[in-house]
């Protein structure tokens, strides 16, 4: 197959359209990997141009022969071939794709091999039952008995796709091959087989699940390598789902019990991680008798990794317990373990627990929550690890539903106030986001008394994200409590910051005005806010001045036309002739009334950031 030949052929036909194809074909052989890669990625174009006949007789053999290449090229090839059925002439000829994919399924590099297997699985569906037996299944057999482990691992992924569509003799052979691979002496192959065990079980007839799969499962679950054993746990979920309830106890449970107490923490971790799936697969009776004690042990495991994985499942496990004695099981068996985990030595364990523990309140109801869970929440809210605190705060709403906000706020308020000043800004942020809900439920008086100061203090936080969130929070509060409340409590404080020596605080005033003006209405905006904004147009820091321009644009629609003409316009015109380029730009934008997103800066304003830097320096010097 030569590019030159193709272009000659094209020339003879007087057709130049094949010329690019000729180039692509030549580039399949190019020394430069990138060019080969580009060409491989356009393989379907090449095949389309060559036609199905030449693709089968020339392109595919050529590709099969040049399989020794960079892994990157091979990966692209493996992927392309999965979508090649139509290009070789449809399902009738799809088996032509098998030889190159077979070679690709034996290479060392895992990603290439996996991709080849993926493509093989895909095209297996396009084989007719006859072709599957004549072409595909022999390939699987060859791979399964290959010398090097790579081909055998690849074979593991192919059994389940051909099994349902072949005759019973071939089925028997396939089962035999799978059995052999499950006891392969290379652990890599056993791992591959174990990871496909569940999938294979699903396509087998129930009698063979019981006779074949169970013995393989038992063997893999007691493999000498923990990496194999833990994969058997995964398979356990699928297998248990397939079996009738009455067989579970004898066929699956001994192995599962053993896995839950495996000497390797990796296996126990896997059990913990798959616990909800296992619970669903084995059903309520076995859950009550076996899984509850197993779960307790996992929650008390000696390795933090295992405890954390189990802690993550606490809510789901409790939710899925049979309803008739759910509460009793939780209260007597699970809750004591949970209590211990609250003071675990490992922060990952505590934080995993904190992310789900709140969910228990809906399951246990109001009284139990107040009596048993609330102390735990409080303890976790005071945890030294910020992630634990954060996880609790971000889930407060589900407790709220159960016990009501007043109860919640009375018990939690001190902790919340403390967290509002937490050293980690993400914790502070979580608290702020929770504030409107809290305020709405607590009412104005309670809010003014306990929380107002906090909300104002956040406006001068040293982290921008907090100041921004605080601004947004004020807006939501005004929406709740009304303009009059705003005028009395927050507007004076916000406007007072306009005289702050720190330009960041002065800008916060502007940001607040942007956010509040609409909720406060025309009168407050015109009478109280506008004079302050206008005065700030004389600020010595350019960043403040161009934010004045932006604010004026923002509050413009709320003002009446008289104020706009007599007060706003002259100021904007003055700013439009400012010495600073950015101030000029935003002032002009405001005058022309064009709306633009706040984050967008004029193209020439790279100095803008430099300017901020200079301002900060000035401030430091002034201090």
Partner 1 sequence: MSAISASEKVDGFTRKSMRKAQKQRKSQGSSQYRTHTAPVELSPLPQLKDAPSTEQQELFTQKLQQCCMLFDFLDSVTDLKSKEIKRATLNELVDYVSTNRGVLVEPAYPEITNMICTNIFRILPPSENPDFDPEEDEPTLEAAWPHIQLVYEFLLRFLENPDFQPSIAKRYIDQKFVLQLLELFDSEDPRERDFLKTILHRIYGKFLGLRAFIRKQINNIFLRFIYETEHFNGVAELLEILGSIINGFALPLKAEHKQFLMKVLIPLHTAKGLALFHAQLAYCVVQFLEKDPTLTEPVIRGLLKFWPKTCSQKEVMFLGEIEEILDVIEPTQFKKIQEPLFKQISKCVTNPHFQVAERALYFWNNEYILSLIEENIDKILPIMFGSLYRISKEHWNPTIVALVYNVLKTLMEMNCTLFDELTDSNTRFPVVFLLSKGKMSLKC
Contact residue for partner 1 among 118, 173, 303, 448 (CB under 8 A): 303
Interface positions, 265-284, toward partner 1 (CB under 8 A): 265, 268
x/- contact string, 193-232, with partner 1 (CB under 8 A)? Answer: -------------------------------x-xx-----
The owner of tokens 């072409």 is: 135
Q: Which is nearer to partner 1, 268 or 550 (CB)?
A: 268
612 binds partner 1 (CB under 8 A): no
Contact 177, 159 (CB under 8 A): yes
3-state secondary structure 285-307: HHHHHHHHHHHHHHHCCCCHHHH
Contact 348, 310 (CB under 8 A): no
Q: Binding-site residue total for partner 1 (CB under 8 A)?
A: 30
x/- contact string, 108-137, with partner 1 (CB under 8 A)? Answer: xxx---------------------------
188 binds partner 1 (CB under 8 A): yes
594 binds partner 1 (CB under 8 A): no
Instruction: Give me the least distance between CB of 147 and partner 1, in Å please.
Output: 9
70 binds partner 1 (CB under 8 A): yes
Task: Please compute Rg for the chain using Cα positions.
Answer: 35
Region for residue 365 given its phi and psi (left: phi exceeds 0; alpha: psi -120 to 50; beta: otherwise): left
Contact residue for partner 1 among 29, 62, 91, 149 (CB under 8 A): 149
Measured CA to CA, the distance from residue 388 to residue 355 in angstroms comes to: 8
Q: Which is nearer to partner 1, 66 or 607 (CB)?
A: 66
619 binds partner 1 (CB under 8 A): no
Measured CA to CA, the distance from residue 357 to residue 341 in angstroms comes to: 11
Contact residue for partner 1 among 4, 11, 13, 148 (CB under 8 A): 148
621 binds partner 1 (CB under 8 A): no
Contact 321, 330 (CB under 8 A): yes
Interface positions, 389-428, toward partner 1 (CB under 8 A): 423-425
3-state secondary structure 457-503: HHCCCCCHHHHHHHHHHHHHHHHHHCHHHHHHHHHHHHHHHHHCCCH
186 binds partner 1 (CB under 8 A): yes
Task: Give residues with Cβ within 8 angstroms of 409, minimum separation 6.
Answer: 416, 438, 441, 442, 446
Measured CA to CA, the distance from residue 496 to residue 508 in angstroms comes to: 11
Instruction: Give me the least distance between CB of 95 and partner 1, in Å please.
Output: 29
Q: Which is nearer to partner 1, 71 or 247 (CB)?
A: 71
Interface positions, 421-440, toward partner 1 (CB under 8 A): 423-425
362 binds partner 1 (CB under 8 A): no
Contact 118, 161 (CB under 8 A): no
Interface positions, 448-487, toward partner 1 (CB under 8 A): 462-463
Q: Is 574 exposed, middle or buried (0-12, 13-18, 19+ CB in 10 A)?
A: middle
Contact residue for partner 1 among 32, 207, 246, 384 (CB under 8 A): 384
Contact residue for partner 1 among 20, 89, 187, 414 (CB under 8 A): 187
Q: Is 39 exposed, middle or buried (0-12, 13-18, 19+ CB in 10 A)?
A: buried
Contact set with partner 1 (CB under 8 A): 70, 108-110, 148-149, 185-188, 191, 224, 226-227, 261-265, 268, 302-305, 384, 423-425, 462-463
């Amino acid at each position: 197959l030569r590019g030159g030949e193709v272009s000659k052929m094209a020339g003879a036909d007087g057709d130049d359209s094949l010329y690019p194809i000729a180039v692509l074909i030549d580039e399949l052989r190019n020394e430069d990997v990138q060019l080969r890669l580009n060409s491989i990625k356009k393989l379907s174009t090449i095949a389309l141009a060559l036609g199905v006949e030449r693709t089968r007789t020339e392109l595919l053999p050529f590709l099969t022969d040049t399989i020794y290449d960079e892994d990157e090229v091979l990966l692209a090839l493996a992927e392309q071939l999965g979508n090649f059925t139509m290009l070789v002439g449809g399902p009738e000829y799809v088996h032509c794709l098998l030889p190159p994919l077979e070679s690709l399924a034996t290479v060392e590099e895992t990603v290439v091999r996996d991709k080849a297997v993926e493509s093989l699985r895909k095209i297996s569906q396009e084989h007719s039952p006859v072709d599957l037996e004549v072409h595909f299944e022999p390939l699987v057999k060859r791979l399964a008995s290959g010398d090097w482990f790579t081909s055998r691992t690849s074979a593991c992924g192919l059994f389940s796709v051909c099994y349902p569509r072949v005759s019973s003799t071939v089925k028997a052979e396939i089962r035999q091959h799978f059995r052999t691979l499950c006891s392969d002496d290379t652990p890599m192959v056993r791992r591959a087989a174990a990871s496909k065990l569940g999938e294979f079980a699903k396509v087998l007839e129930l009698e063979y699940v019981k006779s074949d799969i169970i013995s393989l499962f038992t063997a893999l679950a007691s493999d000498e390598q923990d990496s194999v054993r833990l994969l058997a746990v995964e398979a356990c979920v699928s297998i248990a789902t397939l079996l009738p309830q009455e067989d579970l106890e004898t066929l699956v449970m001994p192995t599962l019990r053993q896995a839950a107490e495996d000497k390797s923490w990796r296996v126990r971790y896997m059990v913990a991680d798959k616990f909800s799936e296992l619970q669903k697969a084995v059903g309520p009776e076995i859950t009550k008798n076996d899984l509850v004690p197993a779960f307790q042990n996992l929650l008390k495991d000696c390795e933090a990794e295992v405890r954390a994985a189990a802690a993550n499942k606490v809510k789901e496990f409790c939710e899925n317990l049979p309803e008739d004695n759910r509460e009793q099981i939780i209260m007597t068996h699970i809750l004591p373990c949970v209590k211990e985990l609250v003071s675990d030595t490992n922060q990952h364990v505590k934080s995993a627990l904190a992310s789900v523990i709140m969910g228990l309140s809906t399951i246990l109801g109001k009284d139990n929550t107040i009596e048993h869970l609330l102390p735990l929440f409080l303890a976790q809210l005071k945890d030294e690890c910020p992630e634990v605190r954060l996880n609790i705060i971000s889930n407060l709403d589900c407790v709220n539903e159960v016990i009501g906000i007043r109860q919640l706020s009375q018990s939690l308020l001190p902790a919340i106030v403390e967290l509002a000043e937490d050293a980690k800004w993400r914790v502070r942020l979580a608290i702020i986001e929770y504030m409107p809900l809290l305020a709405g439920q607590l009412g104005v008086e309670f809010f003014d008394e306990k929380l107002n100061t906090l909300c104002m203090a956040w406006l001068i936080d040293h982290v921008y994200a907090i100041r921004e969130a605080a601004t947004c929070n004020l807006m939501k509060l005004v929406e709740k409590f009304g303009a009059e409340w705003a005028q009395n409590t927050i507007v004076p404080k916000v406007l007072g910051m306009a005289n702050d020596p720190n330009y960041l605080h002065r800008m916060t005033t502007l940001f607040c005005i942007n956010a509040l003006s609409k909720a406060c209405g025309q009168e407050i905006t015109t009478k109280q806010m506008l004079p302050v904004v206008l005065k700030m147009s004389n600020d010595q820091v350019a960043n403040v001045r161009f934010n004045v321009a932006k604010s004026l644009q923002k509050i413009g629609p709320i003002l009446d036309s008289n104020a706009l003409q007599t007060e706003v316009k002259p100021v904007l015109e003055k700013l439009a002739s400012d010495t600073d380029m950015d101030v000029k730009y935003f002032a002009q934008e405001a005058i022309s009334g064009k709306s633009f997103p706040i984050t967008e800066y004029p193209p020439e304003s790279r100095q803008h950031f430099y300017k901020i830097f200079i301002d900060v320096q000035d401030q430091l010097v002034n201090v």
